[in-house]
Amino acid sequence: MNHDDRRTAGFKQRTRLSDAREALLAAATPHDRTVRRPLAEADGRALAEDAVAPADVPGYDRAAMDGYAVRASDTFGASGRSPNVLRIVDGPVEPGTAARVHTGSDVPDGADAVVMVEHTERLGDELEVFDALAEGENVGERGEDVREGTPLFEAGHELRPSDIGLLRSVGVEEVTVFERPRVAVVPTGEELVEADPGPGEVIETNGLTVSRLVERWGGEASYRDIVVDDADLLREAVESDLDHDVVVTTGGSSVGERDLIPEVVDDIGEVLVHGVALKPGHPVAVGVVEDTPVVMLPGYPVACVVNAFQFLRPVLKRVGSLPERPLPTQEATLTRKIPSSPGTRTFARVRLDTSGDEATAEPTRTSGSGILSSVALADGWVVVPEEIEGYDEGDTVAVEGWEWSA
């Protein structure tokens, strides 16, 4: 379809969301760039190689209690009325002796148990023991936590703070991780300004919002200057960022006279999908130029955010070898009806109230895709599948908590 035909036809045929996303992901290839990073800088990074424990943890038999290291056989028969008496020493534990230990400290040679301090009484250099112990009692064995050679994490695992603590405990100081995927964020539009908007002008927010989402999702964002609606300048902007893993534009993705970015991408590459059956934001487009995925987000702020989650987030995770986890959800009861058109997946913004016995979700009064506050002041959205015509008041729904997702 040529450009004039496309504008005339509009979006009479819209691609199903799942199909559009599949087309984009099929065009995306994970990069293979890796880098060594200290553990303190590895949080949220994807491992590029398997992590295996290089040593036992603990690396020695350790006391599990404050008390005295003893030979268990020296405590046999001890009781509150008839304690066994041992000689206190500082070195190795020989028959008839005991050595003071603290929780986590090394158990001296010769000892095979630890008697708790509250089950003893010290009398000068002698120790009365009031408890009979079994061999190994109150002793953490070498390798009790992790054995040398134990597989810890596979390549592709996204490191969490607890994972980093475990790696540090086994003696790992640095790890090889994939570089963060690099995403060029290009805001477009004649009407956009950085500050002090006049009549017909608006402050640029989409590019800023998207660039922060990129960082939250584990990428590195290059937040570019505004590009006006000029085909040559748009082409130059896209081509100059093809060294990035993903290029994302905001605005100019519809079929109006000033919506040029899909034509530009199709001229220098291929538009895979233009027009998706979702609301808000059906004018979204995705394509590829010289093996670089290009995500063309709509200019209306709400539609921009919705489509960033549906397209930019999964392709960023794909190219960066990062796991794409489901968004956190909260079940709630609807306080008002949410309408939807069959065949379209609808994302309805809601406010959550968890103060009562059960959580409730109130759809925002504003339904327009140009009202950014309806996202900023919402707690999440309810996804209405293509197969149904909406949800009724009183229905139990799942609210996706988009703001906290990674």
Identity (one letter) of the amino acid at 225?
Answer: D
Q: Which of 246, 309, 248, 252 is nearest to 27 (CA)?
A: 246
In this structure, CATH architecture of domain 3-33+179-320 = 3-Layer(aba) Sandwich (3.40)
What DSSP state is assigned to residue 213? H
pLDDT > 70: what percent of the chain? 93
The CATH homologous superfamily for domain 62-140 is: Molybdopterin biosynthesis moea protein, domain 3. (2.170.190.11)
Main-chain dihedrals φ then ψ at residue 149, nearest 5 degrees: 90, 0
Placement of tokens 């015509």 in the chain: 389
CB 235 within 8 A of CB 186: no
CA pair distance 299, 277, nearest whole angstrom? 17
Domain ranges of the chain: 3-33+179-320, 43-56+147-178, 62-140, 329-401
Instruction: Read off the tokens for 389.
Output: 């015509």
pLDDT of 190 above 70: yes
3-class secondary-structure state, position 75: helix
Q: Judge if the upstream peptide bond of residue 280 is cis by omega within 30 degrees of 0.
A: yes
Cβ contact 207:250 at 8 Å: yes
Measured CA to CA in angstroms, residue 91 lies from 103, 109, 119 at distances of 17, 8, 22
Give me the pLDDT at residue 161, please.
Answer: 96
pLDDT for residue 373: 64
DSSP state of 235: H
pLDDT for position 8: 45
- pLDDT range class, residue 95, cuts 50, 70, 90: very high
Report the C-alpha gap between 41 and 56 in whole angstroms: 24
Architecture of domain 43-56+147-178 in this structure = Alpha-Beta Complex (3.90)
Would you say residue 6 has pLDDT above 60? Answer: no
Helices (H), 63-216: 161-169, 206-216
Please report which confidence band the pLDDT of residue 1 belongs to, taking 50, 70 and 90 as the band edges: very low
pTM of the model: 0.81
- Of 315, 293, 296, 316, which is closest to residue 216 (Cα–Cα)? 316
Confidence category of residue 356, pLDDT binned at 50, 70, 90: confident
CATH topology of domain 329-401: Beta-clip (2.40.340)
**CA distances from residue 100 to 130, 144, 229, 243, 371 in whole angstroms, order as listed:** 16, 22, 79, 63, 69
pLDDT at 325: 86
Residue with tokens 């060029």: 184
Please determine, for residue 201, whether its predicted confidence score (pLDDT) is greater than 50. Answer: yes
* Residue with tokens 């009781």, as numbered in its chain: 79
Using the predicted structure, report yes or no on whether residue 403 has a pLDDT greater than 70.
no
At residue 177, the pLDDT reads: 97
What pLDDT does 364 receive?
86
Contact 286, 20 (CB under 8 A): yes
Q: How many CB atoms lie within 10 A of CB 167?
A: 22
Average pLDDT over residues 21-44: 96
- Mean pLDDT, the chain, integer: 92
